[in-house]
Amino acid sequence: MSGADRLVGTSGRHVTLLVLRDAFNTFASVWHGKRRMRNRLHGFYSAQWKVYAREFLGETSFLPSDTIMVSFNAWFSDADYRRELASKLGLDHIDRP
């Protein structure tokens, strides 16, 4: 059994997701986090966010071609987006109030 199978099970289907949150909220969360994280904000976190953003925009192709790109902001605020994403993932869409 592979490491991934031990962590998530052997469903027979693995999906790669890239979930990207906007930079302002991402960095605000880091800023309000632990001090050691805050000290790395301008270096590691901003550079890493740019790597993810470039992949999200299709400027790079490090992840598998069938990766599902998810905008956290759109998922959070748009019921139609959540419905579409659920469909892509083969899940039932349930928005609970």
Domain residue ranges in the chain: 14-88
Residue 8 confidence (pLDDT) above 60? yes
**Length, in residues, of the chain:** 97
Residue 45 confidence (pLDDT) above 90? no
DSSP 42: I
* Tokens describing residue 88: 């892509």
Residue 15 confidence (pLDDT) above 60? yes
Backbone phi, psi, residue 60, to 5°: -130, 170
* Helices and strands (DSSP H and E) totals, the chain: 6, 2
Return the higher-pLDDT residue of 2 and 51.
51
* Tokens describing residue 40: 């790395």
Q: Say what the pLDDT of residue 12 is.
A: 72
